Chains A and B, each alone.
Chain A
Amino acid sequence: ETGVTQTPRHLVMGMTNKKSLKCEQHLGHNAMYWYKQSAKKPLELMFVYSLEERVENNSVPSRFSPECPNSSHLFLHLHTLQPEDSALYLCASSQGPDPGRETQYFGPGTRLLVL
Chain B
Amino acid sequence: AQTVTQSQPEMSVQEAETVTLSCTYDTSESDYYLFWYKQPPSRQMILVIRQEAYKQQNATENRFSVNFQKAAKSFSLKISDSQLGDAAMYFCAYRSPNTGGFKTIFGAGTRLFVKA
Report A's interface with B, CB cutoff 8 A. 1, 4, 31, 33, 40-43, 45, 48, 50, 55-56, 90, 98-109
Contact = CB atoms under 8 A, between A and B. Distances in A.
A103 B105 CA distance: 13
A43 B35 CA distance: 14
Indicate the member of B9, B91, B101 with the most A CB atoms within 10 Å. Answer: B101
B66 to A, nearest CB: 15
B107 A33 contact: no
Contact of B97 (A31, A41, A100): A100
Contacts, number: 64
Contacts of B95: 99-102
A106 B103 CA distance: 14
B85 interface: no
Q: Please tell me the size bucket of the interface on B.
A: 20 to 34
B33 A90 contact: no
B44 A33 contact: no
Contacts of A99: 95, 97, 101-102
Indicate the member of B35, B97, B102, B103 with the most A CB atoms within 10 Å. Answer: B102
A56 B103 contact: yes
B97 A43 contact: no
A95 B47 CA distance: 15
B102 A42 contact: no
Given A100-B96, A106-B45, A108-B43, A42 B108 contact: yes
A108 B44 contact: yes
Contacts of B35: 103
Nearest to B108: A42
Contacts of B101: 98-101
Contact of A41 (B33, B103, B108): B108
Indicate the member of A40, A101, A106 with the most B CB atoms within 10 Å. Answer: A101
Closest 9 CB pairs of A and B: A100-B97, A100-B101, A106-B45, A99-B101, A43-B106, A48-B102, A42-B106, A108-B44, A99-B102
A104 B103 contact: no
B4 interface: yes
B30 interface: no
Contact of A56 (B50, B100, B108): B100
